Amino acid sequence: MNELPLSMIINFGIKKLEKSGLKIEIKKSSLINNFSLSKNECGAIAIPKPGRVGYELLKFSTPDIALPDTTLDSLWSCAKEHYGITALTAVTGVGGIPISKLTLGHGVWLGTGKKTNLISHYGLKFFPMAKLPPSTIAQMAKSTFGTIRIFGIVGRASPYVALGLAVYDVVSIGLCAYKEKNGR
């Protein structure tokens, strides 16, 4: 929506009224002056008096009703209290974001995916030999996650862990705000 100067809008309105057959005599400068709003006013309408000189000006003021913002306040205070303890959600979420292997300098071999995440990348970089010892758990990890590297397993599981932590955060903050609002 384009904004126009008040004088152009008033000229446009007067021409439109005259085009419809309504003859009015209005001083444009006084109308522009009258349309100037104070802080507590939110709008104004000028109603022309047909056949007579002048207009009637109606100004609208904003209501002095304070909307209760207790929900937002309680949500904010509960979120601040909650995230002081579990900032793990953000770290897990960022660590699990898929990034192109080529961007990180890894090769893409036949049968492997084209993406990795930061947890898997830094695990491979700093702990390349960290693998599960041959056992039933290693076989389950290989069939579930496709690797026995510890950081590979953690990296592939991190999106699911982040989702679980996010659901926990939302429920926890919501319950806290509900209890705070209802005084329980």
- At 23, is the secondary structure helix, strand, or coil? coil
Predicted local confidence at residue 6, as pLDDT: 76
Query: In the chain, which stretches have pLDDT less than 70?
Result: 1-2, 37-40, 42, 50-53, 63-71, 84-93, 183-184
* pLDDT of res. 88: 66
pLDDT at 65: 67
**3-class SS letters over 39-90:** CCEEEEEEEECCCCECEEEEEEECCCCCCCCHHHHHHHHHHHHHHCCCCHHH
pTM: 0.45
**pLDDT score recorded for residue 117:** 80
Element at 33 (helix H, strand E): helix 28-34
Instruction: Please list, residue by residue across 4-27, b when 16 or more beta carbons sit within 10 angstroms of its beta carbon and e when fewer do.
Output: eeeeeebeeebeeeeeeeeebebe
- Model confidence pLDDT, tens digit, residues 105-151: 878 878 777 888 888 888 888 888 888 889 998 899 888 888 888 88
Average pLDDT, the chain: 77
